[in-house]
């Protein structure tokens, strides 16, 4: 499905069911350097169980046009515009990593547009290692390798994927390699600079679930506690034997956590 936001083409998948703005909507927001495809194991369930689904590519990612957005605040403005462009009054936002920060910022600043939040692989702050930022800026492969190695939980480096035929490390590297020059750096720099999550979280009034991995090295579960504590009524689910990519590493557990909220 294609939408137009701020004059640029946005690509989104709908979970295999035609998008219907009259149904409760769930908008899936991917993390730094990734795209809509990371959500494919959750979107189909929601689309076939009474929701309308949009798993989007942020500008300059995947099949969306435009330039990368330079801050979490800019991505939140864009997300609010996307909700309008889709003909929706409001939507649940499910975000992973960078996308989770965007979801918090959007819900705080545009409360009438967000009915629920699912925050996967999130932390109160997401500082990025200087080596990763330097590699992303220089366009070397190291940042892609580090994002993959640190992102996947230890258990999954040894095998045992529940999705037959899915090689998570290779897929991660392949998606990251498709990025245009400068996109990964823009995403990581935006995450590194964003320090407002806890302050924004205090203004979030919608049902919220945080979905965390107990082996997440990029956004350790303990680092999410200030964020969870700032959102009134927020519920936290910590998934065992999972790293940062719980939505792919442990898709069933991630779905179970999300579906009760969004």
Q: Which residue has the tokens 């009474």?
A: 50
Q: For residue 195, what pLDDT is reported?
A: 98
| CATH architecture assignment, domain 2-259 | 3-Layer(aba) Sandwich (3.40)
What's the pLDDT score for residue 162? 67
- For residue 209, list its beta bridge partners: 118, 235
pLDDT score recorded for residue 171: 84
CB 62 within 8 A of CB 8: no
The burial of 233, by beta-carbon neighbours within 10 Å (0-12 exposed, 13-18 middle, 19 or more buried), is given as exposed
What are the φ/ψ torsions at residue 258 (nearest 5 degrees)? -75, -40
Side-by-side strand order, sheet with 25-29: 2-5, 8-13, 52-56, 25-29, 91-96, 114-120, 208-213, 235-239
pLDDT higher than threshold 60 for residue 9: yes
Which helix (H) or strand (E) element contains residue 100? helix 98-109
Q: The tokens of 4 are what? A: 């137009």
Residues 17-35 have pLDDT tens digits of: 999 999 999 999 999 999 9
Measured CA to CA, the distance from residue 238 to residue 252 in angstroms comes to 13
Please state the rounded mean pLDDT for residues 126-135: 96
What is the arithmetic mean of pLDDT over 148-154?
Answer: 83
> Are the C-beta atoms of residues 173 and 145 closer than 8 Å to each other?
yes
Residues 238-247 have pLDDT tens digits of 999 999 999 9
- pLDDT classification of 170: cutoffs 50, 70, 90: confident
Residue 119 confidence (pLDDT) above 70:
yes
The pLDDT score that the predictor gives to residue 155 is: 63
243 touches 221 (CB < 8 A): no
Cα 72 off chain centre by = 12
Taking the CA atoms of the chain, what radius of gyration do you get in angstroms?
17
Name the residue among 121, 116, 163 with its Cα closest to residue 31: 121
Bridge partners, 91 (sequence order): 114
Q: Is the pLDDT confidence value at 150 over 80?
A: yes
Q: Which one, of 29, 38, 111, 120, lies nearest residue 75 by Cα?
A: 29
Alpha carbons 117 and 132: distance in angstroms, whole number: 29
Does the structure show a pLDDT above 80 at 187?
Answer: yes
59-107, pLDDT tens digit by residue? 999 999 999 999 999 999 999 999 999 999 999 999 999 999 999 999 9
Whether 25 and 85 have beta carbons less than 8 Å apart is answered as no
CA distance linking residue 118 with residue 10, whole number of Å? 22
- pLDDT of residue 5 exceeding 70, the answer is yes
Position 166 scores a pLDDT of: 60
The pLDDT of residue 28 = 98
CA separation for the pair 109, 118 (Å, rounded): 17
């Amino acid at each position: 499905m294609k939408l137009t936001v701020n004059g640029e083409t946005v690509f989104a998948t709908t979970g295999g069911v035609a998008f219907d703005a009259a149904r409760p909507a769930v908008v899936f927001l991917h993390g730094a350097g990734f795209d809509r495809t990371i959500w494919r194991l959750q979107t189909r369930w929601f689309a076939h169980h009474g929701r309308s689904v949009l798993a989007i590519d942020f500008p300059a990612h995947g099949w969306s046009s435009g330039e990368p957005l330079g801050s979490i605040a800019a991505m939140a403005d864009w997300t609010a515009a996307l909700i309008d462009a889709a003909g929706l009054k409001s939507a649940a936002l499910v975000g992973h990593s960078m996308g989770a920060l965007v979801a918090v910022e959007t819900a705080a600043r545009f409360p009438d547009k967000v009915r629920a939040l699912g925050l996967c692989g999130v932390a109160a702050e997401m500082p990025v290692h200087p080596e990763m930022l330097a590699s992303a800026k220089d366009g070397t492969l190291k940042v892609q390798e580090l994002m993959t190695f640190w992102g996947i939980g230890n258990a999954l480096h040894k095998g045992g994927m529940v999705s037959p035929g899915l090689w998570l490390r290779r897929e991660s590297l392949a998606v990251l390699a498709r990025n245009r020059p400068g996109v990964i750096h823009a995403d990581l720099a935006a995450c590194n600079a964003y320090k407002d999550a806890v302050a924004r979280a205090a203004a979030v009034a919608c049902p919220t679930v945080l979905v965390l991995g107990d082996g997440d090295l990029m956004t350790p579960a303990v680092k999410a506690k200030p964020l969870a504590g700032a959102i009134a009524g927020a519920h936290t689910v910590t998934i065992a034997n999972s790293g940062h990519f719980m939505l792919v590493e442990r898709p069933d557990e991630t779905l179970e956590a999300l579906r009760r909220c969004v």
